[in-house]
Amino acid sequence: MGDTGVNTLKITLKSIGIDIKLLPDSWASWGTKFSIWPAHLVTACCGVEFAHTSAPGYDAERWGFLPIFGPRQTNAIVIEGTVTRKMAKVVKVAYEQMPYPKFVIAMGSCAMEGGVFWNSYHVVRVSDIVPVDAWVMGCPPTPEAVIRAIRMVQDKIEGKEVKPNIRPSQFDLTKLKPDKPQRPPNPPHRIEFELIKDINVCKPMPNVKWELGQKLVDGFKSTLGNGVKNAVVRNVNDLCITLDSAGRLREAVESAFKLGFDHVKSINVIDLINAGVFRMEYVLGSYMNKELMPVLLTIYFDVPRDEAKVPSIIDLYPGADYQERELYDLFGVWFEGNPWMGSNFLLDPDTPVKYPLRKEYRIPSLKGVVVER
């Protein structure tokens, strides 16, 4: 269980070896009970329900539950969903920075036993990292359940007996006879990245008939000429174009802009380490052209991993700036023309980590963070 010893408001006179309490126990407990200020650490999708709990509809601050920006100013932490092995260190560091007394609430099935990722190789139980005071079941848990967990922690602070609000039904499994013999689930499949040679990203669905899509594809082929290696209608409202090089990107984007694709939805990297290339993926969409609003246009091309340079498109689509800087941080792709290249954006400026989403990057040892069962 978590550290709920709240009677720590005292000073020790070393010369005579006695403790002098600054406040009576009842006062200290009362003050701590209504001053639970959790660090806002969102590890997964349960953060949505945590926000709902704190919003005006439920107003968890009525019970003195107020999210604060940093662990050194808090006395509680709410683990909001799945914790991976990489995030386990973050949870541990945040917890260790919190002053005493401190409390932990774990939200959701993933935090309890892994949830839908129960047999995954990279998911960690919260109780293996930090002591937990209250569990919130559900996927996702409701705001009412979160408030119930807050009240449980408050009861524990006051020294009251804490009882679960529900009890699961009990069954004698020896009397159950399944119609078919049961077999254990398959272990998670681990695909070694060295075995992946290529990915067919522009594979059309069979028997797709979409007149507008075919018209757009033909227009790109005629405009870009030999610069297009492949252009297909993958599905209704889904177009795919593969360029022969990064040098044709701006020409392709300008052509898309003239057709009515007025924004970049995402820029991604597919790391094909065995082929020695990054496959760049640009997804374009339209807000203004009603006919093109449901349409996604995806542009692909390859660049060498050891010299990943791509022309920037921030002068055409300013919204691409964030994503270009993000991909430089995480993969090391250099976007020529973007003035922020060479400086960290998401990563800490002083971090020694370089390009952590490349396939060859290995997570450092988590010894001392995760308690192995």
* Domains annotated on the chain, with CATH: 22-157 (3.40.50.12280), 195-336 (3.30.460.80)
Predicted confidence at residue 304, as pLDDT, reads: 94
Burial tier of 152 (Cβ tally within 10 Å: 0-12, 13-18, 19+): buried
CA nearest neighbour of 154 among 51, 32, 38: 32
> Rounded distance, CA 47 to CA 151, Å?
19
CA nearest neighbour of 262 among 332, 299, 337, 317: 317
Predicted confidence at residue 226, as pLDDT, reads: 83
Alpha helices in 246-319 (DSSP H): 249-259
The 10 Å Cβ neighbour count of residue 56 is: 6
Predicted confidence at residue 20, as pLDDT, reads: 54
pTM, two decimal places: 0.57
> Rounded distance, CA 39 to CA 332, Å?
32
Helix 211-224 vs helix 249-259: crossing angle, to nearest 10: 140
Predicted confidence at residue 3, as pLDDT, reads: 47
Report the Cα 320 to chain-centroid distance in Å. 21
Each of the 373 residues of the chain gets a pLDDT tens digit; together they read 444 444 444 544 445 555 555 556 676 777 777 778 888 777 788 888 888 888 888 887 888 888 877 777 788 888 888 888 878 888 888 888 888 788 888 888 888 888 777 777 778 888 888 888 888 888 888 888 888 888 888 888 877 777 666 666 777 767 766 666 666 666 655 555 556 667 778 888 888 888 888 888 888 888 888 888 888 888 888 999 999 888 889 989 988 888 889 889 999 999 888 888 999 999 999 998 888 899 999 999 999 999 999 999 998 888 899 999 999 999 999 999 999 998 888 887 777 878 888 888 876 665 655 555 4
Place of tokens 């052209």: 289
Under the phi-then-psi rule, with left for phi > 0, alpha for psi from -120 to 50, and beta for the rest, what region is 92? alpha
